[in-house]
Amino acid sequence: MFVTKQLIHFRKLNGLTQDDLANKIHVSRQTISHWETGKNYPDIQSLLLLCDVYDISLDDLIHDDVKALKSKSTLKQTRWVLAGSIICIVITYLSLISMKWFPFLFSVMLLSISSTLGVVFLIILITKTNFLQLHTYQEISHYIKTGKIISKRKISKRHNLMLAILGALTGLAIGLLLTLLIGVYWLHWSF
């Protein structure tokens, strides 16, 4: 993200340390450090406070980031990674079905390779589509268009954890059901 360079540039230009800047905009020094290293992206209120401190416009601070976030190449990469994940899932189940015709060892190798690649693709997908940055981009975009700040929805960590657990359990149930159906009806497993 380009805003990290801008934050460092304007902070040094104004002769401020991270502690000084943190005190001026009422955040911790670690927060400033995370913004400057690109670990986190400032929310719209923080960006507006930074603009006031540096006496610049929001457009001067984040213009390049807005362009980058809008770029279609990022969207295209995400689509390719998603397609790769789906293909790996399909190959995983096809490798289970292939046990009927191919040697067991070959099918197991295909199964392990495709499932490992699928996990790698999903990790890349989760990393590329950082929902926090997407939400921040939506806030910034709305502010640039309307001049008004979107009120933040407070979503608790517990709510996010429950959604993650529910998603994992749903995925596990679907995976087990498909595996069981393929095993019993296609490969004639018996219990």
Question: 80 CB contacts (<8 Å, ≥6 apart)?
Answer: none
In the chain the domains, ranked by start, together with CATH numbers, are 2-56 (1.10.260.40), 62-187 (no CATH)
Query: 149 pLDDT band (50/70/90 cuts)?
Result: low
pLDDT at residue 71 greater than cutoff 80: no
Torsion sign over Cα 22, 8, 31, 61: positive
- Tell me if 160 sits within 8 A of 67, measured CB to CB: no
| Span 43-53, average pLDDT | 87
- What phi, psi does 139 have (nearest 5°)? -60, -45
- The rounded distance, in Å, linking the Cα atoms of 187 and 84 is 27
The yes-or-no verdict on residue 30 having pLDDT over 50 is yes
For residue 110 the two structure tokens come to 């295909």
Q: What is the pLDDT of residue 132?
A: 47
Beta carbons of 99 and 125 less than 8 angstroms apart: no
160-183 tens-digit pLDDT: 778 778 888 888 888 888 888 888
Q: Would you say 18 and 25 are in contact if contact means Cβ atoms under 8 Å apart?
A: no
Give pTM, 2 decimals.
Answer: 0.47
